[in-house]
């Protein structure tokens, strides 16, 4: 964690792991390749419209987790 940014750089919490991660994996599997890109602002906007709590920093943390774990190939 980065000092002063503990909340933003913390590991994924239970809500992010159980609720948001499966949705993000499913979404990103449909958006593989340069021609299928989707902006993080659009992802956050769509997730919020569906009642999920997510911001840009935590979205990037989830996407990084997906990359590191190889959940979307």
Q: Tell if the pTM clears 0.85, that is, is over it.
A: no
HEC secondary structure over the chain: CCCCCHHHHCCCCHHHHHHHHHHHHHHHHCCCCHHHCCCHHHHHHHHHHCCCCCCHHHHHHHHHHHHHHCCCC
User: Residue 11, class by beta-carbon neighbours within 10 Å (0-12 exposed, 13-18 middle, 19+ buried)?
Assistant: exposed
pLDDT tens digits, 3-62 = 666 666 678 999 999 999 999 999 999 998 899 999 999 999 999 999 999 999 899 999
**In this structure, what token pair is assigned to residue 22?**
């499966």
């Amino acid at each position: 964690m980065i000092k002063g940014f503990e909340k933003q750089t913390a590991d994924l919490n239970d809500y992010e792991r159980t609720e948001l991660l499966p949705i993000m994996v499913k979404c990103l599997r449909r958006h593989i390749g340069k021609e299928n890109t989707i902006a993080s602002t659009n992802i956050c906007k769509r997730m919020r419209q569906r009642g999920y709590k997510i911001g840009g920093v935590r979205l990037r943390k989830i996407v990084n987790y997906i990359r590191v774990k190889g959940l979307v190939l």
